[in-house]
Amino acid sequence: MSATHTPFHFRLTAIAAALFCAMAHSAEPLPINVEADNVVGTAEGTTEARGDVQLHRGDINVNAEWATFDQKSNRVTAGDQVEMTRRGDVLKGNQLDYLLDTKYGSLTNPDYTIAQGLGRGDAVKLLFEGDDKYRLADGRFTTCQPGDNAWFLHANELELDYVTNKGIAHSAWLEFKGAPIMYMPWMNFPLNSNRQTGFLAPSFSTNNRNGFEFSTPFYWNIAPNYDFTLTPRYMSRRGVMLGGEFRYMQPDYAGTLKVEGLSNDTVSDSSRSSIVFQHQQALTDRLALSLNVQKVSDDDYFNDFGDRLSVASQTNLPREAVLSYRGDDWQTFGRWQRFQTIQSTANPVDEPYARVPQLGFSATPDWIKGVQLGISAEATEFNHSTKINGSRVWVKPEISMPFIGSYGFIKPKISVHASSYQLRANGPNQVSSTENRTIPIFSVDSGLYFEKESSFGGEEYTQTLEPRAYYAYVPYRDQSKLPNFDSAITDFSFAQMFSENQFSGNDRINDANQLTLALSSRLYESSTGIERVRATIGQRFYFTDQRVTLDAPGRPDEATSSDLLLSLSGQVWRDFMVGYSLQYNARDDSTIRSDINLGWSPGAFRALNMRYVQSRNNNIEQVDFSGQWPLGGGWYAIGRANYSLRDNKALETLGGFEYNAGCWAVRFAAQRYITNDGTFNTNFFALLELGGLGGLGSNPIDVLRQTIPGYTDTYSKVH
């Protein structure tokens, strides 16, 4: 039999970020339908139901052996075996006692499966403590499927407050494979995706420079737009380093302040520290400010405390402030810039000039239709500890009239580069002077575009043919008396072949009377746009000898053409990628530079790469192998080897394994790489990841992404 009673409000809400199912109230009361073998109502306002009781309200279903409802106290009780379901979530228990008005009550021996089976667990007792507030006694939680008890989070007491979206666990410990692996007397965590103040997962690793490392970061969520992370880092060989990172964000500005310090390094017997301050701010809609200040205590700081990326990239640490203004068709900036140069006895570095200050201006006025006008200018005060100092002012107006059509383009351009130097002696064999230089520059860039449709193997293709010609004329001006504040010769490449000046910066402008010819062709699938083949060949032809040089002799007088450049790339077959580039000297019949890249990624978690690079200019010849591949049974192998054939030694090696068990994963990796001082660092990584809780150990994921092209995370953050 069945009965329908006066509508009343019944709610049991979700318990932990994957800890519980919920009964959500609605704006309008919904009727409760009760079906049972026997339903009895009394004059005192109590309704009793017994025998296969089924209670329905909205998307909530409650099954029990018996249930009662007291209309006076608005109290629901049910037992002896209670099962509640809502949107795929299932909660089972012995007895339910719930006050609908105050939302206080209890459920004994709850056993739950929530979030479509992504989380489950049990407890001794669940207490309802008001609107969206709960407490679990002697509970445990896991994201493993039923029958898989690989790990559990246990807590003597677990508080869940969905009003503040904050959870607190007391006397918590982690169980993995039946053994306790970590105890936490107190921990808090967010119940949604928001950040939450508390201790983050501890990290530990080992390497040959610092020994065993252990860190326990503490995260302070000061406000939605402010946070601070404090990280004590214990190193068995050196001591305890304390680090802090403060981040802030406002609508008009944002920045980061990161500080690390070791008061007494027991290896070097000195204090070690670093600071990074980066700030960006929009002072108005057009006016912006940028600050970037970086400093370390010594040249070996990144070798000892950094990772592979910081060792390779951190050479000149900037200390600069930039104020910029953007107009409608013009912009200007002011910069104050110095550097801390990280020196190495094995690889000494030339200290760059400080710019104190640098003022710049550029504009592209749209005054004449079909004509592109532009002007750039800069005034800089250069300062160096040992080299000649001085100021430099330059201005470069230019005008071009491009003709562009569907079949090709032609772009003639005329510009003038005028500069003036005021030089001050700063040491022996240096002479103060005033130098001026004015150079007209003329260039014509042109190209054609042809294409045709073809078919092969049942697939429609489009093939292109793209010839290009670039002529540049720059008359010779003696620049031997000019200093070199910021110029360097650029690598010979296709980009350099189609540029006016082979030098970067503004202290050297090459003389030129030269023509560059190149031919490109592409073959791509018409339906998908996948580029199967791209080939380019190009060469520059000289009509006069080169006279302007920098730190190296110019090209030989008998040279009438440059080296030949060739490149070939494409997805030649399915997921197989090929890349090849060659710089060939026909006069000497020698290869100046060659680079071969092969990559195969037939699917997720599958990537194999090989690279060979040889350069006479840089005196290197290296081969690089890397990859990620499944071994079966949830195991994956990862590795990389970068070997110098010229030095007959490995520059970097990395190897490891990953295992994905669904609700947990492990990663093991070891890395060895050469540092700036010529010595080697060896790091060991070990990480246990538990779905929904994070990881314990040292995570090599950033290292793997940096060193293995095509690497895919085998255990996504969604777990």
Q: Which residues of 275-311 are buried (b: 16+ CB within 10 A; e: fewer)?
A: ebbebeeeeeeeebebbbbbebbbbbbbbbbbebeeb
Q: pLDDT for 288-309, tens place per residue? A: 999 999 999 999 898 888 876 6
The conformation of residue 144, written as its DSSP 8-state character, comes to S
682, 670 Cβ separation under 8 angstroms: yes
Cα–Cα nearest to 600, from 577, 626, 572: 577
Q: How many whole angstroms separate alpha carbon 471 and alpha carbon 497?
A: 10
Neighbour tally for 141: CB within 10 Å: 27
Residue 575, amino acid: D
Residues 6+ apart with CB under 8 A from 451: 462, 463, 464, 465
> Pick from 599, 600, 608, 603: which is nearest to 579 by CA?
599
Q: Do 55 and 67 form a contact (C-beta atoms < 8 A)? A: yes
Say if residues 79 and 64 touch (Cβ distance below 8 Å).
yes
Asked if 376 and 395 count as a contact pair (C-beta separation under 8 A), the reply is yes
Measured between alpha carbons, how far is 703 from 715 in angstroms, rounded to an integer?
15
- C-alpha to C-alpha distance for 291 and 32, rounded to whole angstroms: 63
Q: Which residues on adjacent β-strands are paired with residue 577? A: 571, 599
Positions of the chain with pLDDT lower than 70, given as ranges: 1-31, 58, 87, 115-118, 132, 162, 189-194, 308-313, 716-719
For the CA atoms of 249, 250, 254, 256, the dihedral, rounded to the nearest 10 degrees, stands at -30
Report d(CA 687, CA 365) in Å as an integer.
57
Residue with token string 């677990």 = 158
**Which runs of E-coded beta strand occur in 115-252?**
119-122, 125-129, 133-142, 151-161, 166-176, 179-190, 198-199, 203-207, 211-215, 218-223, 226-235, 239-249
175: nearest Cα among 193, 151, 208, 149: 151
What are the C-alpha distances in Å from 415 to residues 115, 444, 499? 66, 12, 13
Read off the DSSP letter of residue 561: B
Which two three-digit tokens encode residue 47?
């309704």
Instruction: Convert the pLDDT of each residue in 543-552 to its tens digit.
Output: 999 999 987 7
- The answer to whether 319 and 340 are in contact (CB under 8 A) is yes
Q: Tell me which residue of 152, 157, 153, 156 sits closest to 129, measured CA to CA.
A: 157
pLDDT (0 to 100) of residue 72? 80
Element (DSSP H or E) covering residue 539: strand 531-542
The CA angle 629-631-635, to the nearest 5 degrees, is 95
Return all residues near 548 (Cβ < 8 A) that are at least 6 apart.
Answer: 476, 477, 479, 508, 509, 510, 511, 554
Express the helix, strand and coil content of the chain in percent, nearest 5 each.
5, 60, 35
CB-based burial label for 485 (10 Å; 0-12, 13-18, 19+): buried
pLDDT at 356: 96
Contact indicator for 436, 419 with CB cutoff of 8 Å = yes
Q: What is the pLDDT of residue 5?
A: 37
* Residue that has been written with the tokens 């190193």 in this structure: 235
